[in-house]
Structure 1
Amino acid sequence: MAKNLKITLHHGIVNRTPAQRATVKTLGLNKIGKTVVREDTPANRGLVNAVRHLVTVEEVD
């Protein structure tokens, strides 16, 4: 079974660069505290890495 990533937005996107805002939106996050589950792929890991200071990540099955 493929691993998944549980991604939670913990900091707001006000005063962030347009690229960081777009990355958060691409991940499907729009409010502080919102959590999404995404497949663990290199592309998703790259998106998370770009905004790692705004989100927390857990690996789930």
Structure 2
Amino acid sequence: MAELVVTQIRSAIGAKPKQRGTLRALGLGRIGRTNTLPDRPEIRGMLARVPHLVTVEETS
């Protein structure tokens, strides 16, 4: 199954509370923190809410 490597690139300071919660649910919280997640529709939906705060790389 494919995986997504998600890295936080911008601060959550000034972001809306729902966006901060989404970052925490993705396992992020600090700039530069990286997490590997499965490529599922739920995760893709969460990433769609915070595209300006993270970068996403696909791995196989």
* Length-normalised TM-score, structure 2: 0.97
Cα separation, 1, equivalents of 2:43 and 2:49: 10
CA shift for structure 1 position 58:
0.4
Matched residue type, 1:23: T
The amino acid across from 2:21 in the alignment is A
Structure-2 residue corresponding to 1:34: 33
Normalising by structure 1, we get a TM-score of: 0.96
Count of aligned pairs between the two proteins: 60
Q: Secondary structure at the match of 1:16?
A: coil
1:57 matches 2:56: yes
Q: In structure 1, what residue type is equivalent to 2:59?
A: V
Identity percentage of aligned residues:
40
d(CA) in 2 for partners of 1:47 and 1:8?
A: 13
Structure 2 gaps, min length 5 = none
Moved over 4 A (4+): none
For structure 1, which runs of at least 5 residues remain unmatched after alignment? none
Separation in 1, partners of 2:37, 2:4: 5
Give the Cα–Cα distance (whole angstroms) in 1 for the partners of residues 6 and 35 of structure 2: 5
In the aligned structure 1, how far is the partner of 2:33 from the partner of 2:42?
20
